[in-house]
Amino acid sequence: MKRAPLLVLLVAFALPAFGAGLEAFRFGDQVPEQRYKSLISELRCLVCQNQSLADSDADLAHDLRQEVYDMMAAGRSDAEIVDFLVQRYGDFVLYKPPVEPRTWVIWYGPFALLLAGVGVLVHTLRKRSRQPPPAFSAEEQARLDALLGDKEKDA
């Protein structure tokens, strides 16, 4: 009998997490479910940024899923829907932004930074290897000779 409250809590709090991001849309001939799921999986949630629209439970993601569904129901193609969202929110809404001059920083920036870091490291190591070992001052050299001279007498 004590398990009933635990079951109620589980149903009340855990189950909504399993259904995060799923609205009750009617799928059929006009809006195929697989096409809808595929499309919202390719689009990024602008709030969460690391989740697709399909995975996100943010309010904006709910609104965008509704928008995608409505455009599909209106007969728009996937390309038209994506173009609309890119025009409205920019390339960031896409998980895979197109490779074009304005997105080169996104695609090639990390590699350029890595190459620059390796270049700086190589330059620094070469510069260090060319430097002569540090010389001792006359006072330090005399002290060193005295210390080494005492050890030579002991040997």
Is-above-0.85 flag for pTM? no
Least trusted range by pLDDT, from 21-25, 68-72, 74-78 = 21-25
Interval 102-143: pLDDT, tens:
878 878 999 999 999 999 999 999 988 888 878 888 898 899
Q: Are 17 and 55 in contact (CB under 8 A)?
A: no
- Name the token pair of 83: 């173009």
